[in-house]
A = this chain, B = another copy of it.
Amino acid sequence: MWYQTELTLRPRRRGFHLITRDVEQVLEPLSQMHIGLLHIFIQHTSASLTINENADPTVRNDFEQVFNRLVPENAPYYEHTLEGSDDLPAHIKASLLGPALTIPIRDGQLALGTWQGIYLCEHRDHGGSRRLVLTLQGQAL
């Protein structure tokens, strides 16, 4: 059993955003799966996906602060500067976090841990809407 769909996320400000609900809402066949995997892929190179703490919003604020220090803007050695000071750092952050997630499915639900949520990591100041490809596969219940 295979199912694939697209999800266009509305524009979000630069930072880290919980999108677990947005993803689950477009996965109607999920409830019929016994064992499986969900693959989520972002079709962009300056935004990324990760899984992390789903409760305390200060964690997501701290992510933004830490990643801005790990990959600073305006480093004097950057060559790729034409698209703005946030662009090259966005590409690096996107690769550090990665463009895809694979999450196990069990008994009709994502088998996430209690504190795990899916983050959209928006690395641009004005990234616009972001497109995800969701691929579901597995055994029916």
Residues in chain A within 8 A of chain B (CB atoms): 2-4, 35-37, 39, 41-45, 50-53, 56, 58-59, 61-63, 65-66, 70-71, 75, 77-80, 88, 91-92, 94-104, 106, 111-116, 119, 131, 133, 135, 137-139
Bound: A103/B137 CA distance, A? 14
* Chain A contact surface mostly: mixed
The 4 nearest A-B residue pairs measured at CB: A43-B113, A58-B79, A58-B80, A50-B95
Question: Measured between alpha carbons, how far is A44 from B115 in the docked complex, in Å?
Answer: 7
Q: Which residue of B lies closest to A3 (CB)?
A: B35
Copies of this chain present in the complex amount to 3
Chain B residues whose CB sits within 8 angstroms of the CB of A43 once the complex forms: 111-114, 116
Chain B residues, CB < 8 A from A56: 80
How far is B60's CA from A72's CA once the two chains are assembled, in angstroms?
Answer: 17
Contact A103–B104 (Cβ < 8 Å): no
In the assembly, what is the distance between CA of A113 and CA of B59, in Å?
Answer: 29
Complex contact A104–B39 (CB within 8 A): yes
Q: Are A113 and B131 in contact (CB under 8 A)?
A: yes
Known interface pairs A63-B95, A139-B2; A111-B52 also in contact (CB < 8 Å): no
